[in-house]
Amino acid sequence: MSLLKPTLHVEVSVKAGMVDRANVVQLRNDVKQWLTADFVTVQIGHDFSAELSDSRLANLIEGIEVVDYTGPPTVDGDCYHVRGIALDVQTYTLKAENERDPRRSISQADDSELAQARVLQLPSIALKDEWNSLVFDDALPARLLRYMTRMVGMMKQPGLNLSTFNWNRLCLLHGPPGSGKSTLCRALAQQLSIRLGDSFPNATLIEINTNAMLSKYFGESGKLIGATFEKITAMAQDQRALICVVMDEVETIAGSRERSTSGAECNDGMRATNQLLTALDRLRHLPNVIVLCTSNLIGAIDQAFLDRVDIKQLIPSPSPAAIYNIFRSCLNELVRSSLVDAAAMQVSSCTTTARRVVSRSTSTGSSSPAKPIKRSKTLASSSSPEPWTVISAPEIPTYSEMLVRWVNQPQSPGRRVWALAQKCEGFSGRTLRRLPILGLAMYTWGGDCSLDDAITALEAAVNQELLAKGTAHVEVKVEVE
Ligand SMILES: Nc1ncnc2c1ncn2[C@@H]1O[C@H](COP(=O)(O)OP(=O)(O)OP(=O)(O)O)[C@@H](O)[C@H]1O
Ligand SMILES: [Mg+2]
């Protein structure tokens, strides 16, 4: 296969128990045929399940998403012509935590309260939303996923002499707190298990609890690390199992040995680091193991550990465009879940005076997504036959739509959110995901809350956060009625 063969990666989520292994190939072919026959172009990120015309497929499938494109850059942005491109269709069924092989833990037999690692079968229902919840520029998660897929794929090449290459399949995500490192590690493990499902029918996530590794008993940390990695090595003996090891805050057990010898600190940390390095060297010979680590203190990590890392990736705080998309997803979720009233629309009079009127939705179903208004609509009034014109749909537009259609309309929801996003540069993803709902809780009183009210509440929460950070002397003005 050529390195540059353009490929569209399609993920098909199959309903539990609907397709056995023997019929998976047939299902993939059917999906390929359906996509090629029914579509000229497809867009990355689009879920096709609603368009499934074939009722037999619709009965088997939960979702079909075109998740990624690999190959030389094209001019059409996110849109790709289906014909003339290879379709890599992967099928998977999400595993529930309470299934036959539930989340369990690796722990010392004599100290069961202390779980050194949590074990989760992949792909897991518990991680199903993590990948799509992350917003980064330059398709950073997709790029990392490609590197790792290629890494693991190449290691499986028959006849490849592994000892020729010094390759640990070790990836370190580092960056400021709350930038999404831990979430990205788990999401990468989940996506790898789907993308590599053909080569590895079984996949397991092992999340090492680095804090639990630092034993309360002096001198025990090294032993705990050694024992945990022995168990991981034993699990990896099954060549058809992909093992994704995640070590969060890895500096806890991979701290600089120079530091621990220079100060008056005990050398337990040094033993832990030594043991970890030895364990990693052993894992290197197992082509089905991938290790993902995070740290926000890269300067505190031991040089020998850093030297073993194949991919060091800085995960920065979100850019203003990413912040816009984070706020957009939060606000649209508030609308979708009916916490914010989708039907409470901001309207303006045809005359110069603008007023707010609320139009009730006839549908009260909380689970149905809000339907965006596609065309301009006129509401009746007693004083004048056509006094009101809807100026905004009850959801936040995409970033590009906002730039094209709303950027010169400072009162439109999209433009207001964009103004806020620019103010929030430097905020962590964690803070950003909190502010829309925090704003709603702090600055509204329940009842009919429109999208404009929710944005006003978000503004107040942002100003409050800026005040707390001491970066702006702004007065928190609560304007929500
Ligand atoms: N870029 C982002 N896009 C969307 N959500 C984000 C982003 N970064 C962080 N978040 C959200 O913030 C929360 C915290 O993220 P996470 O725990 O992965 O950060 P972290 O980098 O591991 O933080 P820490 O360094 O404190 O461990 C999660 O709910 C995550 O969804
Ligand atoms: Mg973290």
| 24 backbone dihedrals φ, ψ, rounded to 5° | -65, -40
Q: In the structure, what pLDDT confidence band is assigned to residue 260 with cuts at 50, 70 and 90?
A: low
The verdict on whether omega for the bond into residue 316 sits within 30 degrees of 0, i.e. cis, is no
How far apart are the CA of 192 and the centre of ligand 1, in A?
Answer: 20
Verify whether ligand 1 is closer than 6 Å to residue 296 (CB atom). Answer: yes
How far apart are the CA of 440 and the centre of ligand 1, in A?
Answer: 21
Kindly report, residue by residue over 49-88, the tens digit of the pLDDT.
Answer: 888 877 788 889 999 999 988 888 776 677 888 888 899 9
Cβ–Cβ under 8 Å, residues 391 and 349: no
What is the number of the ligand closest to the CA of 322? Answer: 1
Q: In the structure, what pLDDT confidence band is assigned to residue 267 with cuts at 50, 70 and 90?
A: confident
Residues 6+ apart with CB under 8 A from 51: 38
Closest CA to 12 of 140, 204, 197: 197
How far apart are the CA of 174 and the centre of ligand 1, in A?
Answer: 12
Instruction: Considering only CA atoms, give the Rg of the chain.
Output: 26
Cβ–Cβ under 8 Å, residues 300 and 265: no
Residues 6+ apart with CB under 8 A from 236: 243, 283, 286, 288, 289
Q: Report how far apart, in Å, the C-alpha atoms of 85 and of each of 146, 222, 308, 310 are.
A: 17, 50, 37, 31
What is the number of the ligand closest to the CA of 174? Answer: 1
Verify whether ligand 1 is closer than 6 Å to residue 433 (CB atom). Answer: yes
Q: Write a three-state SS string for 360-423.
A: CCCCCCCCCCCCCCCCCCEECCCCCCCCEEECCCCCCCCHHHHHHHHCCCCCCHHHHHHHHHHH
* Residue boundaries of the structural domains of the chain: 7-92, 104-155+164-314, 320-360+372-469
Dihedral angle sign, alpha carbons of residues 438, 444, 450, 453 = negative
Q: What is the CATH number of domain 104-155+164-314?
A: 3.40.50.300
Shortest-distance atom of ligand 1 to CA 318: 1
How far apart are the CA of 430 and the centre of ligand 1, in A?
Answer: 5
Q: What is the pLDDT, as a whole number, of residue 128? A: 92
Task: Give 56: exposed, middle or buried? Use CB within 10 Å, 0-12, 13-18, 19+.
Answer: exposed
Closest CA to 102 of 83, 84, 79, 118: 118
- Most informative mutation of 129, 132, 183, 424 for ligand 1 (most atoms within 8 A of CB): 183
Could you give the percent of the chain with pLDDT greater than 90?
52
Verify whether ligand 1 is closer than 6 Å to residue 132 (CB atom). Answer: no
Verify whether ligand 1 is closer than 6 Å to residue 393 (CB atom). Answer: no
No. of H helices and E strands in the chain? 15, 15
Mutual orientation of helices 140-155 and 181-195 as an angle, nearest 10°?
Answer: 50
Cβ–Cβ under 8 Å, residues 429 and 179: yes
Average pLDDT, the chain: 82
Most confident stretch, 30-44, 218-232, 309-323: 309-323
How far apart are the CA of 156 and the centre of ligand 1, in A?
Answer: 32
> What is d(CA 235, CA 243) in angstroms, rounded to the nearest whole number?
8
Q: In the structure, what pLDDT confidence band is assigned to residue 31 with cuts at 50, 70 and 90?
A: very high
Which residues have a beta carbon within 5 Å of ligand 2, which is an ion?
182
Tokens of 212: 């639990």
How far apart are the CA of 178 and the centre of ligand 2, in A?
Answer: 7
Verify whether ligand 1 is closer than 6 Å to residue 134 (CB atom). Answer: yes
Report which protein residue has its CA nearest ligand 1's atom 18.
180
Tokens of 390: 């809807």
Closest CA to 61 of 42, 80, 34, 85: 34
Verify whether ligand 1 is closer than 6 Å to residue 141 (CB atom). Answer: no
Q: What is the pLDDT, as a whole number, of residue 371? A: 33
Verify whether ligand 1 is closer than 6 Å to residue 326 (CB atom). Answer: yes
Report which protein residue has its CA nearest ligand 1's atom 25.
177
How far apart are the CA of 175 and the centre of ligand 2, in A?
Answer: 10
How far apart are the CA of 151 and the centre of ligand 1, in A?
Answer: 25
What is the number of the ligand closest to the CA of 181? Answer: 1
Kindly report, residue by residue over 384-410, the tens digit of the pLDDT.
Answer: 444 444 444 578 999 999 999 999 999
- Beta strand 41-43 with 79-81 is antiparallel
- Beta strand 289-295 with 241-247 is parallel
Verify whether ligand 1 is closer than 6 Å to residue 180 (CB atom). Answer: yes
Q: Report how far apart, in Å, the C-alpha atoms of 463 and of each of 65, 334, 363, 474 are.
A: 38, 20, 35, 7
Q: In the structure, what pLDDT confidence band is assigned to residue 160 with cuts at 50, 70 and 90?
A: confident
How far apart are the CA of 406 and the centre of ligand 1, in A?
Answer: 29
- Mean pLDDT score, 366-385: 34
Verify whether ligand 1 is closer than 6 Å to residue 136 (CB atom). Answer: yes
Verify whether ligand 1 is closer than 6 Å to residue 318 (CB atom). Answer: yes
Check pLDDT > 90 for residue 12.
yes
Task: Residue 287: count other Cβ atoms within 10 Å of its Cβ.
Answer: 21
Report which protein residue has its CA nearest ligand 1's atom 13.
430
Check pLDDT > 60 for residue 204.
yes
How far apart are the CA of 174 and the centre of ligand 2, in A?
Answer: 10
Report which protein residue has its CA nearest ligand 1's atom 28.
430
Q: What is the pLDDT, as a whole number, of residue 29? A: 93
Shortest-distance atom of ligand 1 to CA 294: 22
How far apart are the CA of 113 and the centre of ligand 1, in A?
Answer: 28
Shortest-distance atom of ligand 1 to CA 136: 1
Q: Which residue has the tokens 């850093």?
A: 306
